Amino acid sequence: MNLDSADAVSIAAAVQLGKVKAVDVVNATLDRIAKRDRQLNCFTTVTAETALKDAALIDQKIAQGNNPGLLAGVPFAVKNLYDIAGLTTLAGSKINAENPPATQDATAVAKLRNAGAILVGALNMDEYAYGFVTENSHYGATHNPHDLNRVAGGSSGGSAASVAAGLVPLTLGSDTNGSIRVPAALCGVFGLKPTYGRLSRAGVVLFSSSFDHVGLFARSVRDIATAFDVLQGEDARDNVCTKRPVVETLYITSHVTSQNIDGLKIAIATDYFTKKAAPEALEAVQKIADALNISEYVSIPEAHRARAAAYIITASEGANLHLDKLKSRPQDFDVATRDRFIAGAFIPSSWYIQAQRFRNWYKQQVREIFQNVDVIIAPTTPISAPEIGQETMNLDGEEILVRPHLGLFTQPLSFIGLPVLSVPIQQKNALPLGVQLIAAPYNETAILRVAAVLEKMGVISAEIV
């Protein structure tokens, strides 16, 4: 099999059947990383030694007739805010590099490893997950595989770019205001932000606790669904990881191609989600609407205020988390991160309280929409990947800043913890874009069903570049 282009499910099946050794899969992965990552700058650490040891154990299990796990031999990597036993958790910062090594894996890392997946390293990100570009002053910018002069998006830029470049088939990221969906869209891969609290955040450096989500990147719907199944489950180490029962997504079976969307009501987000977007971003949404024959529209009320409230809450919570270091060693922060944290520290507490009150009201308004609609589609980003160092972009005749506005369409959704899958739309002779498939809390199955149908139709796809 061609290990460069195989998805995670294909690799696991081949390893389980003895068609390829896990050690050979990992060696091929390490070779790809060594050859390509000098240009891309996705990895901050490559765990070659432990990866090869883990792979050898998988091969040993198979030789002894034991079950090697659902993701046996699948290489994966994680955003460097996940704890990896024996490594210092950087969270994209210079300050955290002085911390002692983690004593145990983050829960999400442990679950993937327990399923037979092989951890091969940690990935670059915006400092403390506060950004949409992964232009990190300490560890360098991660480059978009589709155009090395452009950003990969952020803050999980290394996670998205490494999947798009074929370095690994599966990665973990985190999403506060769009940090999975934005880079997924700009790099042309699938990016899932599940329902808030659905997956454990234990062992993950937080940015804004009431917003932070654990999620993942992959090149196929079945990879997203399979890994999501593995990652589910209550965790006593994370007090927001809910006691909701594990829900079978139905895509890890051989019946994936037979899935349909009969009975699902799908609508297009209008108003706020059609403004300040490049024509091609709206065309990407229309491409999906045409393929599924969608003609219904919905308006999510006060989405612009939801985005403003999201900024207030995340800036306040993030600033409070780092306040001591902001006072004692501000010079050691990434300049872009530091200035926004300092601004957040000056937000009046009354604003924060009002934003939280609005959040509860807004949640109820959106809940009522989902009484009549199962899935909503909207652009993921207003534009395709901007150039590295680009400060502004022109939308609807207005010159606006790139960094804060790449999350224009993602923030109002993570604000109330909705599950969202960004699906890749490949454009001929142009950079990829993403479309968000949005559902009510705990209805990940609906968006995976829609994505599976679109993938089968060839409307969405993640191409290795």
Under DSSP, the state recorded for 174 is E
Query: Phi/psi at 387 (nearest 5 deg)?
Result: -75, 150
Cα Rg of the chain (Å, integer)? 21
pLDDT given at position 396: 87
Ranges of residues in the chain whose predicted pLDDT is under 70: 243-259
Measure the CA dihedral 24/30/34/39, to 10°: 120
Encode burial over 51-63: b for 16+ CB neighbours within 10 A, e otherwise: bbebbeebbebbe
295 catalytic? Reply is no
155 catalytic? Reply is yes
> What one-character-per-residue DSSP string does 198-251 give?
SB--TTB--S-TTT-EEEEEESSHHHHHHHHHHHBS--TT-TTS--PPP---S-
Between CA 465 and CA 453 the distance in angstroms is 24
Q: How far is C-alpha 455 from the geometric centre of its chain's CA atoms?
A: 19
pLDDT digits (tens, 9 = 90+) for 431-465: 999 999 999 999 999 999 999 999 999 999 999 99
pLDDT given at position 254: 40
pLDDT digits (tens, 9 = 90+) for 353-364: 999 999 999 999
Q: Among 10, 93, 155, 384, which one carries the catalytic annotation?
A: 155
CA distances from 428 to 40, 237, 287, 347, 453 (A): 23, 46, 13, 45, 21
Bridge partners of 218?
170, 190
Structure tokens at 211: 């917003």
Q: Among 10, 93, 174, 179, which one carries the catalytic annotation?
A: 179
For 273-332, where are the alpha helices, taking DSSP H only?
Answer: 279-292, 303-321, 323-328
Q: Among 10, 21, 79, 276, which one carries the catalytic annotation?
A: 79
> What one-character-per-residue DSSP string does 36-68 give?
HHHHH--EEEE-HHHHHHHHHHHHHHHHTT---
179 catalytic? Reply is yes
Looking at 82-139, which runs of residues are DSSP E strands?
118-123, 135-136
Between CA 197 and CA 195 the distance in angstroms is 6
Between CA 247 and CA 245 the distance in angstroms is 6
Q: Could you tell me which residues come within 8 angstroms of residue 282 by beta carbon, excluding any fewer than 6 positions away? A: 274, 379
Domains of the chain: 8-457 (3.90.1300.10)
Query: Phi/psi at 139 (nearest 5 deg)?
Result: -120, 5
User: Is the full-model pTM beyond 0.95?
Assistant: yes
pLDDT given at position 249: 57
pLDDT given at position 256: 46
Residue 87 neighbours by CB distance under 10 Å:
18
